[in-house]
Structure 1
Amino acid sequence: MARGFEVVSSYANQALHVPYRATKQAAGYDFESAVDFTVPSIWKLDFLKVLWAIKHQQTATPETVEKAKRILKPYLIPTGIKAYMGADEVLILANRSSNPLKRGLVIPNGIGVIDADYYNNDKNEGEIFMQVLNFSLFDVQIKKGERIGQGIFMHYLAADDELKPQQDRQGGFGSSGK
């Protein structure tokens, strides 16, 4: 098989659904949450106080900057799913169109990139997590089985004159560098 999805071993008996396309011509495979999950609103985490401090101090103190980083750190919603694909393919994770509008949830960097060598890595078996921030006024409750994002398999091209990477993946999420 060239590409597809599997449930990671830690969720083997949890009755998870592998991602699926909801309509015949859908490009994206819908991912569901593997657990009940609460995504706190940034507004409940003193975000306004941090903004006020930055605005009125002209320059932010290291403590203020660290507090802002903690508030704006994305939450990782587990899917219990891993993806396999060809060496020249990538799985792009994207927000569902209803998430920002109905729930205030956004993917902080716009997309997620799942490389082929993330599958079955030593660190976390290749489990895919959806990164989100909650810009709504209230906490968002996500129930196990709710659709939280979508994934699209794509081919990619490498530059003709690139120096070929020699390093193999050594871990899981974010392990290929800073």
Structure 2
Amino acid sequence: MEKKRGFERVSTFTDIRLPARATAAAAGYDFEAAADCLVPSIWKSGAAKALQAVLKGEQIFLEDELLKQLKPTLVPTGVKAYMGEDEFLQLCNRSSNPLKQFLLLANGVGIIDSDYYNNADNEGHIMFQFLNFGLTDTLIRKGERIGQGIFLPFLKADQDDASAVRSGGFGSSGK
């Protein structure tokens, strides 16, 4: 039987569970953290200082150390996904994360393209980008459910002539 879509472990992670649906009617496959990961509070990592500077009318430059501190935390899953060329995996936050743990996906939703699988940079390792808007740091423990993935088809425009080939891993198609 030909493989259509699914999940595999990244070679450096052997003791993790592959994503699975919680119920027969669930659309999303639950992803777990592959390692303990601390997601710092944006308020402790500089957001309050940045907000104060903005309110005072001070200019903030992208090179500032303050802005570097506000980057999202990448949480590894140890998982890679394979799928058809006309499909993608949409990464979504768990509905309970903002309410219970103050965690937001920094990119809103993640898009895993079919050519991300087994790329040379990181083997197609899927990670979730989190921002913590709570007042205290949040510790995500290994094995804790952190998000979900939904396989979806996509359509191409009539004038689509894309022919570039992926040359890297995370964020490489936007370079």
Identify the TM-score tier after normalising by the shorter chain: over 0.9
Structure 2 match to 1:44: 44
Secondary structure at 2:18's aligned position in 1? coil
User: 1:146 pairs with 144, 163, 173, which one?
Assistant: 144
Structure 1 match to 2:164: 167
Structure 2 match to 1:62: 61
Structure 2 match to 1:33: 33
Q: CA deviation at 1:59?
A: 4.4
- Tell me the percent identity: 55
Structure 2 match to 1:124: 122
TM-score (normalizing by structure 2)? 0.94
Tell me which protein shows more helix as a share of its residues: 1
Secondary structure at 1:168's aligned position in 2? coil
How many residue pairs end up in the alignment? 173
Q: CA deviation at 1:62?
A: 2.2
Q: CA deviation at 1:140?
A: 0.5
- Equivalent AA in structure 1 for residue 164 of structure 2: Q
Deviations 1:14-44 (A, max 9, x none): x200000001100000000000111110111
- Equivalent AA in structure 1 for residue 119 of structure 2: N
Deviations 1:85-137 (A, max 9, x none): 00000000000000000000000121000000000000000000001000011
Runs of 4+ displaced beyond 2 Å = 65-69
Q: CA deviation at 1:70?
A: 1.7
User: 2:100 pairs with 96, 99, 102, which one?
Assistant: 102
Secondary structure at 2:128's aligned position in 1? strand
TM-score (normalizing by structure 1)? 0.93
Q: Which runs of 5+ in 2 are unaligned?
A: none
Secondary structure at 1:77's aligned position in 2? strand
RMSD: 1.3
